[in-house]
Chains A and B, each alone.
Chain A
């Protein structure tokens, strides 16, 4: 059959040159990743900005207390001012010892944050190392490290810290206190990291990294850990809140830092005897302590929500 005959019997639709946009891709868009998504999510939440400002002010107080108060916190205490009300230059009044409450609050931030940061650093480093090794290598190492974690988990960390501080009653430095808290608070961090490393270990890029000849340890360091950092940040922020609370509790019990240091827990402890006549000396440091702990806990929870895509989808 000749070809022109065939085409005559066949209807061929005229070609329309209308452009249809299929799967428009913006080439110039920045590549998205977990951290960028989290930042976009978290910066749109007003709670984050309020918390960030509070944290900034507290950190500033700890780093540069003279910016907030000119009154020295410990010397210059006059017993004549004992439990006195607010006067000019002393906005919150005086403690039982006649010290300026506002000044002691400002200087107390340093103790709280320093011990809190150190304890969190120690606890997180131990927890991450233990959890990562247990989760990545598995086998007998996992068994040994996980049982070790169970042992530390079985001792509530404040009780453990009380024992440590009772033992080291001669040298109660911030570092010893931080070790007492962080050295026993790592077990829960280790559990979280172990679970996360177990999850990341399954990924194809880990297999690929091993396949191109990277050693196991290098794979863990360069490919697994960077992808398991999200829960580390979240747990560390929450631990920071708990560690600040623990420091105050230990100072309150008299096994924190010595009585010459400025600590909110110590101030609360010293104000308890005159609670009936001068409640504000107890209430102000209580507020400072609660606000600080609350700020770090809220920050931790916001980070957790932002860094967990599943939680973001649920909202």
Chain B
């Protein structure tokens, strides 16, 4: 297991540096002079300009600038947002809300996907299966912002079950509507994976053995089939995490949830380039770490993965 962990961590290092370097390069290519922009209409003193450039290492080659930047990231310095606040402060303030939303969304996703996926897999080719596959396709096709607006209009404005927007004061209960939208946007792939996995497991020898030794169906399905089918569904959460982050950005923006995603949403909508880049970098780092974590979990749950080359 230790060897597996070491191997996976070593694999992540080039991905981490590569991805941050790639984003940093795009910022580097950004047109316009940020220091000149600081002075607005006035013409600055060239000596002063030079001094500020030196202070921010802007005269150094690209890779040196990246080095300064990434050292800052390791010390928790992700730069400054458009309004002048350190990004790390904004993150500290907004992260708990997003975490709450993500936990609720993933919980909704899992409950729906595992229940419906298992029933579908057990009744392969029947009406329930076909209907749930069609519905899943629709959920794959509908973009998350469309889903968010439809939910906002029909569930909140028309039916009045939820408040249309969340706002600054929010607890677990206020996040139901965005969490449902986010959960549904993740639901379809997980449901189809559960279904495929259940169908696959049903054909395994151990399931036949369990039936032949006389175990009742109510014991075979949950213990022998479902437990073995859920591993791919859990690992899919890591792949789905990219969808979750984009979805969180859009839903938090639409429902005005004061989370990390909403900060990115506002920055994108207002065209605040540097803030966008800082937050996307944070998202990418989180994505890489989540994938690493789930991979390690996968190795823990399924020994075959550990020993595979």
What is the interface of chain A, defined by CB distance below 8 A to chain B? 147-148, 150-152, 154-156, 158-160, 162-164, 166-167, 169-170, 241, 245, 248-249, 252-255, 265, 268, 272, 275-276, 279, 282-283, 286, 289-290, 293-294, 297-298, 301
Q: Is the beta-carbon distance between A276 and B157 smaller than 8 angstroms?
A: yes
Minimum distance in angstroms from B134 CB to a CB of chain A = 9
Which of B29, B242, B245: most chain A Cβ within 10 A?
A: B242
Please give me the residue from chain A that is nearest to B265 by CB atom: A253
* Complex-state Cα separation, A272 to B27, whole angstroms: 31
Complex contacts, A169 vs chain B, CB 8 Å: 271, 273
* Complex-state Cα separation, A152 to B168, whole angstroms: 35
Q: List the 4 closest A-B pairs by CB distance, nearest first.
A: A156-B242, A151-B18, A294-B141, A293-B141
**B268 touches A (CB below 8 Å):** yes
What is the interface of chain B, defined by CB distance below 8 A to chain A? 11, 14-16, 18-19, 22-23, 26-27, 29-31, 137-138, 140-146, 149-150, 152-153, 157, 242-243, 245-246, 250, 254, 265, 268-269, 271, 273, 276-277, 280, 283-284, 287-288, 291
* Complex-state Cα separation, A282 to B152, whole angstroms: 12
* Complex-state Cα separation, A151 to B288, whole angstroms: 10
Q: Is the beta-carbon distance between B284 and A155 smaller than 8 angstroms?
A: yes
* Complex-state Cα separation, A276 to B137, whole angstroms: 28
Q: Is the beta-carbon distance between A163 and B276 smaller than 8 angstroms?
A: yes
Which secondary structure characterizes the binding site on chain A?
A: helix
Minimum distance in angstroms from A65 CB to a CB of chain B = 22
Which of B27, B30, B141, B276: most chain A Cβ within 10 A?
A: B141
Q: Is the beta-carbon distance between A245 and B271 smaller than 8 angstroms?
A: no
Q: Is the beta-carbon distance between B268 and A162 smaller than 8 angstroms?
A: yes
Complex contacts, A249 vs chain B, CB 8 Å: 143-145, 246, 250
Q: Is the beta-carbon distance between B19 and A159 smaller than 8 angstroms?
A: no
Q: Is the beta-carbon distance between A154 and B268 smaller than 8 angstroms?
A: no
Complex contacts, A147 vs chain B, CB 8 Å: 14-15, 18
Which secondary structure characterizes the binding site on chain B?
A: helix
Some 11 contacts from A to B, beta carbons below 8 A apart, are A150-B14, A154-B16, A155-B280, A160-B23, A169-B273, A170-B31, A265-B145, A268-B146, A279-B153, A286-B150, A290-B143
* Complex-state Cα separation, A158 to B145, whole angstroms: 13
Q: Is the beta-carbon distance between A154 and B291 smaller than 8 angstroms?
A: yes
Q: Is the beta-carbon distance between B268 and A167 smaller than 8 angstroms?
A: no
Q: Is the beta-carbon distance between B153 and A162 smaller than 8 angstroms?
A: no
Q: Is the beta-carbon distance between B145 and A252 smaller than 8 angstroms?
A: yes
* Complex-state Cα separation, A170 to B273, whole angstroms: 12
Q: Knowing that A169-B273, A248-B143, A294-B137 are A-B contacts, what are 5 other residue pairs whose CB atoms are under 8 Å apart, sorted by A's residue number?
A: A147-B14, A150-B15, A154-B16, A167-B31, A294-B138
* Complex-state Cα separation, A170 to B15, whole angstroms: 30
Contact of A151 among B22, B246, B254 (CB under 8 A): B22
* Complex-state Cα separation, A3 to B138, whole angstroms: 85
Minimum distance in angstroms from A75 CB to a CB of chain B = 27
Contact of B138 among A170, A255, A290 (CB under 8 A): A290
Complex contacts, A154 vs chain B, CB 8 Å: 15-16, 18-19, 284, 287-288, 291
* Complex-state Cα separation, A290 to B139, whole angstroms: 9
When A154-B284, A282-B153 are in contact, do A254 and B268 touch as well, CB less than 8 Å?
A: yes
Q: Is the beta-carbon distance between B246 and A298 smaller than 8 angstroms?
A: no
Complex contacts, B15 vs chain A, CB 8 Å: 147, 150-151, 154
Q: Is the beta-carbon distance between A163 and B280 smaller than 8 angstroms?
A: yes
Complex contacts, B30 vs chain A, CB 8 Å: 167
Q: Is the beta-carbon distance between A151 and B265 smaller than 8 angstroms?
A: no
When A151-B15, A166-B268 are in contact, do A156 and B283 touch as well, CB less than 8 Å?
A: yes
* Complex-state Cα separation, A297 to B138, whole angstroms: 9
Contact of B137 among A167, A170, A297 (CB under 8 A): A297
Minimum distance in angstroms from A118 CB to a CB of chain B = 19
* Complex-state Cα separation, A272 to B22, whole angstroms: 34
Complex contacts, A279 vs chain B, CB 8 Å: 153, 157
Complex contacts, A268 vs chain B, CB 8 Å: 145-146, 149
Q: Is the beta-carbon distance between B142 and A158 smaller than 8 angstroms?
A: no
Complex contacts, A152 vs chain B, CB 8 Å: 22
Minimum distance in angstroms from B129 CB to a CB of chain A = 13
Please give me the residue from chain A that is nearest to B291 by CB atom: A154
Complex contacts, B140 vs chain A, CB 8 Å: 297
* Complex-state Cα separation, A245 to B146, whole angstroms: 10
Minimum distance in angstroms from B177 CB to a CB of chain A = 14
Complex contacts, A148 vs chain B, CB 8 Å: 18
* Complex-state Cα separation, A200 to B56, whole angstroms: 53
Q: Is the beta-carbon distance between B146 and A290 smaller than 8 angstroms?
A: yes
* Complex-state Cα separation, A163 to B276, whole angstroms: 7
Minimum distance in angstroms from A262 CB to a CB of chain B = 17
Contact of A162 among B142, B254, B276 (CB under 8 A): B276
Q: Is the beta-carbon distance between B146 and A286 smaller than 8 angstroms?
A: yes
* Complex-state Cα separation, A164 to B284, whole angstroms: 15
When A154-B19, A158-B246, A275-B152 are in contact, do A289 and B283 touch as well, CB less than 8 Å?
A: no
Complex contacts, B254 vs chain A, CB 8 Å: 272
Q: Is the beta-carbon distance between B276 and A166 smaller than 8 angstroms?
A: yes
Minimum distance in angstroms from B15 CB to a CB of chain A = 5
